[in-house]
Structures are given as structure tokens and as C-alpha cells.
Amino acid sequence: ATGARPAEMTWRAGVDAVSFGGTKNGLMGVEALVMFDAAKAWEFELRRKRGAHLFSKHRYLSAQMLAYLEDDLWLDMARAANAANARLVAGLKAQEAVTFAHSPDANMTFAAWPRALHRRLFDAGAQYILWEGAVEGDDAEERLTARLVCDWSASDENTDRFLELFAG
């Protein structure tokens, strides 16, 4: 989301290790730990073995990670997710009832609107997570925060359909 190169955000910034996750970006159960300090990497290798993290079929997971890294597929997928979220945020900003709990800088948005509107959206089939509060309750005007996440496959059509639900 920042446009920074990976090295700028990791070892050049003094980071010892990075958990490079693929699961939330389209891979099936694949996470990689990148260690930048050889001594710490060796210690981690021993801990990994002690923790029985020795998958006999690791090549299937590795094949996913290899394809993910080739030709910057991981960046393309992340950019698609971020673009989908930007479209969602633009549409939410047009809604008078919506406020943002945090700056939506990547593919995730925390936005709040009245409980009555949440009920209407859920009744219309919208699916998202309430981060704070519950849709059940007596105060229809109480603002509840939703956690909205766009992934690499989020379509403009689905985003637009969700935003149309706000209009009633």
C-alpha cells in the first residue's frame, strides 16, 4: 500500500524476521518466515523441528509460494485487493451515515454506521464482520463498527451491489 520496496520495510529498517503470509492473499495454508539474521535463522530452524513443523509434503506448499513470488504475482494480487478497497471506501464516503474508525490505507476498512442500517444490510444478504457491538439491541441509532476486507478477487460488481444496499 505504501509503494515501498520489501527491503526498505524489512532488513534495511533493522527487522530480524518477517512473516510473509499468502493465506489471506489467495494461497492455501501457505506462510513463509523470512529470517535476516543467520544465527537467529539457525535457532529458529531448531525450534521449528522441535515443534514438529516438518510437513512431509511441503513441496505442495512450496509450489504455491514459488508461483506466488514469480513475476510479482503477490504484488499484483495485493494491488488488486487495495484497489477494490479504494473503490469501497470511495462509495462509503458518499454515505452520510458512515464514519471511519481508522484510515483505510490498504485492503481493510473499519467503518461505523447505525445499528438499524446494519440490520437492513444483513437482511438484504450482506456479509461482513461486526468488529464492535452486536446487531441485536434496542438502540437503532447506536453506531457499530464493521470490519470490511477486500481480497484479490473482489469484483466491482460485488462492491457496487454492497454499496447499493445503503440506498435501500
Q: Which among 74, 99, 115 is the end of a domain?
A: 74
**Residue 52: CB atoms within 10 Å:** 7
In a domain, residue 43? The reply is yes
Distance CA 150, CA 107 (A): 5
In a domain, residue 60? The reply is yes
Residue 82: its H or E element: helix 73-93
The 10s digit of each residue's pLDDT in 93-131 is: 999 999 999 999 899 999 999 999 999 999 999 999 999
Q: Within this chain, do residues 70 and 119 fall inside the same structural domain, yes or no?
A: no
Q: Which residue has the higher pLDDT, 110 or 52?
A: 110
Q: Which domain CATH number covers 86?
A: 3.90.1150.10
Nearest in space to 156 (alpha carbons), one of 85, 75, 92 = 85
Instruction: Give the pLDDT of residue 61.
Output: 86
Distance CA 47, CA 41 (A): 10
Distance CA 25, CA 147 (A): 17
In a domain, residue 140? The reply is yes
pTM of the predicted structure, to 2 decimals: 0.82
Q: Within this chain, do residues 161 and 84 fall inside the same structural domain, yes or no?
A: yes
Cell of 64: 504455491
Cell of 165: 444496499
In a domain, residue 1? The reply is no
The SS3 call for residue 88 is helix
